[in-house]
Amino acid sequence: MKTFHYTLLAAVLAVSACGGKPSETAAAPPAPSAASADAFIAKYNDDFRAFYPTLTGPQWLAATYITDDSQAVASRANEQYLEFSFNTAQAAKPFYALKDLKPETARALNLIRVGSAAPSAPAEREELAKIGAKMEANYGSGKWCRKDASGNDQCLSLQEIEKIITNADLKATPAELAEAWAGWHATAKPIRKDYQRFIELQNSAAKESGFANMGEMWRAGYDMSPAEFSDETERLWGQVKPLYDELHCYVRNKLNAKYGDAVVPKNGLIPAQLLGNMWAQSWGNLYPLMEPYQGVGSLDVTAALAAQREAELAKLKAAYKGKPTVKALAEMEHEADKAMSLKMTRIAEDFYTSLGFPALPDSFWEKSLLQQPRDRDVVCHASAWDMNLAGDVRIKQCIEPDEEHLFTIHHELGHIYYYLMYNALPPIFQQGAHDGFHEAIGDTITLSLTPQHLEKIGLVKGAKNDEKAVINSQMKLALDKITFLPWGKLVDQWRWKVMDGSIKPENYNAGWWQLREQYQGVAPPLARTEEDFDPGAKYHVPGNTPYTRYFLSFVIQFQFQKALCEAAGFKGPLHECDIYGNKAAGEKFMAMLKEGQSQPWPETLAKLTGGKQMDGSAIIEYFAPLMGYLKEQNQGQSCGWSAPTAASSP
């Protein structure tokens, strides 16, 4: 999944380097007043700006140099954050009841209230920080070890295992895919007890901040009550679910035809390992099997990028004098990968600058990690970082020359440009209007990467715009975008239930699969037990990153695109719109980004779209041609599914 290290920013926004112990900050305080509240927030912003790099530096180090030492440094920085967070929350409490505050001060105080949660006991803060660092390190260094074809021991990283699950040539058997799937998911088993304790500590902190549990606290950060937010996500899911249901039916029928009733039941759940993604969160790798009209309109971006990579390698080989050694060949392979990572990032930057956004700073190119190092483990999960709230921005992504990574770079630069646009705001407001906004920016840009646009930049040939080509293009995109929607919703559905006790520790895995069956209509490839901890095999669970933001982003990015196309003066079908080079659209986009979180998100949304409600209707409008095709193809088929008891074997 395309994501970034927004968890860092979201987590620390409530931190203030006020210093001192709680008893010291509370000693003989003056009576709270509007003026003292203003002064408190002003000091918070100054102190936080100074404090912030002392947290981001160790976090960056821990993600890009996974060692015991780097984890210890990151853990200590996290512990300091938790201490500062606790002190800030305590110091802010006297101001919450004031009625005569400036709107910006009242908003800042509320952001502190819903964003700062740290246990009051120093020992618990230390424990929470250590568990967090341990779980993230476990994910980053996870390996599946097996015997290779020659009987030798072989240990594979997540990236290597994903290449098996992707099943690009569709030749792997269901059993082979299940083995790889299980190999990665087993890496999460060691953190199951750690996660249970992590939730206990988080809930304790949330209760000290006045919330029933951490899930309720997370849902309180959307300018509405937690209950209203739960209702809002259900409303949005109801808008888009019919399209998902039709796509699920179509995909299941195709997989049934390939693998047979014994593997894929005609009216049941789809085995998760068959969907071309480790978590079955997006199914785009199945496109060759799902392509409605074979060969109509070239969409193979990966092949074009791979060819460019081979051309880079050929140039290096041609420049080498004599027969290259094994070491020299490895160096050339690494240099070819480096050249492609830079080229692909430049392609993404060019789209933003065509709209009027500034060029990325030189420090971005000097400090970003754009490829897998050969000498150490790193957390390859793509992420975007704002290191100092003042322009030191960078991404961490082990870029490979394929379509998914190209789109991921566009996504990550969306975060980067959001940072740059709102860096002028006080630190307390340097967030997205809500976290779904942050995730939607770069994905909105990718909606303009139409086949015609990709042909213009030399990544596909023979792009067409007839009815069959449109259906092919929409199918390819829907296999990424529409299939993600239920996954984007259920990850936090599970966590919220864990946090409020609806799913108890002894039912972690069963509860996980109940939700996956309910929302996605997928089943585990193998029987699961409570010795497993399958949620922990997804980065955002051990990384403690709230996930509903992605569900929201996949809805509002189409809403954003529609507004930008209108600003650009585009008159055709929404799926044909390409805003590349349109300064009017770029100006309106940047105006929204510059607001950060300085006002309630409905106000910021209205700045771009004219409306104050998130709306899934733009998705339905965008995919109208595909919806018609799917209904036609599914006519007479048994669609839908009934979910058996959780953790059952497929």
What does the pLDDT look like over 583-623, one tens digit per residue?
A: 999 999 999 999 999 999 999 999 999 999 999 999 999 99
Sorted by sequence, the CB contacts under 8 Å of residue 193 that are 6+ apart come out as none
CA atoms within 13 A on the CB side of 607: 19
- Residues contributing to the annotated binding site for Zn(2+): 411, 415, 439
- Structurally, how many domains does the chain consist of? 2
What does the pLDDT look like over 69-101, one tens digit per residue?
A: 998 999 889 888 878 878 888 899 899 989 999
27 confidence band (pLDDT: 50, 70, 90):
very low
Q: Is residue 206 part of a domain?
A: no
Mean pLDDT lowest among 2-16, 23-37, 49-63, 508-522: 2-16
Burial (CB count <10 Å: 0-12, 13-18, 19+), residue 559: buried
Whether 264 and 256 have beta carbons less than 8 Å apart is answered as yes
Last residue of a domain, which of 114, 140, 166? Answer: 140
> What's the rounded mean pLDDT across residues 25-41?
78
> Given this model, what pLDDT does residue 271 score?
98
Q: How far is CA 451 from the centre of its chain?
A: 24
What does the pLDDT look like over 235-272, one tens digit per residue?
A: 999 999 999 999 999 999 999 999 999 999 999 999 99
Q: Is the pLDDT of residue 197 over 90?
A: yes
Q: Is residue 234 part of a domain?
A: no
Q: Report strand pairing: 522-523 vs 270-271.
A: parallel
Q: Is residue 588 part of a domain?
A: no
* Whole-number Å distance between alpha carbons of 285 and 487: 17
What does the pLDDT look like over 159-183, one tens digit per residue?
A: 899 999 999 888 999 999 999 999 9
Please name which of 563, 313, 282 lies closest in space to residue 407, comparing C-alpha atoms: 282
Last residue of a domain, which of 372, 405, 424? Answer: 424
Q: Is the pLDDT of residue 14 over 90?
A: no
Q: Is residue 47 part of a domain?
A: yes
Q: Which residue has the tokens 């195709």?
A: 254
What does the pLDDT look like over 406-430, one tens digit per residue?
A: 999 999 999 999 999 999 999 999 9
What does the pLDDT look like over 149-165, one tens digit per residue?
A: 788 899 999 989 999 99
> Given this model, what pLDDT does residue 374 score?
87
- Crossing angle between the packed helical segments 103-115 and 68-92, to the nearest 10 degrees: 130
Which two three-digit tokens encode residue 365?
Answer: 């190119």
> What's the rounded mean pLDDT across residues 51-77?
91
Q: Is residue 405 part of a domain?
A: yes
* Whole-number Å distance between alpha carbons of 323 and 329: 10
Q: Is residue 404 part of a domain?
A: yes
Whether 182 and 533 have beta carbons less than 8 Å apart is answered as no
> Given this model, what pLDDT does residue 376 score?
87
**What Cα–Cα distance (Å) separates residue 563 from each residue in 8, 432, 482, 594, 599?**
30, 18, 20, 17, 20
- Residues contributing to the annotated binding site for chloride: 222, 549
DSSP, collapsed to helix, strand or coil, labels residue 529 as coil
433 confidence band (pLDDT: 50, 70, 90):
very high
- Looking at the chain, the number of H-run helices and the number of E-run strands are 26, 6
> Given this model, what pLDDT does residue 357 score?
98
Last residue of a domain, which of 91, 120, 140? Answer: 140
- Crossing angle between the packed helical segments 226-259 and 467-500, to the nearest 10 degrees: 130
Tallying the residues shown for the chain, one arrives at 650
Please name which of 563, 542, 546 lies closest in space to residue 435, comparing C-alpha atoms: 546
Task: Please list the active-site residues.
Answer: 412, 540
Segment holding 510, helix H or strand E: helix 508-515
Q: Is the pLDDT of residue 5 over 70?
A: no
121 confidence band (pLDDT: 50, 70, 90):
confident
Q: Is residue 179 part of a domain?
A: no
Sorted by sequence, the CB contacts under 8 Å of residue 476 that are 6+ apart come out as 284, 287, 291, 299
CA atoms within 13 A on the CB side of 127: 17
644 confidence band (pLDDT: 50, 70, 90):
low
Mean pLDDT lowest among 145-149, 482-486, 544-548: 145-149
- Residues contributing to the annotated binding site: 222, 411, 415, 439, 549
* Whole-number Å distance between alpha carbons of 207 and 59: 27
* Whole-number Å distance between alpha carbons of 10 and 386: 12
Q: Is residue 611 part of a domain?
A: no
Boundaries of domain holding 342: 298-424
What does the pLDDT look like over 452-476, one tens digit per residue?
A: 899 999 898 877 778 999 999 999 9
Neighbours of 257 (CB within 10 A): 11
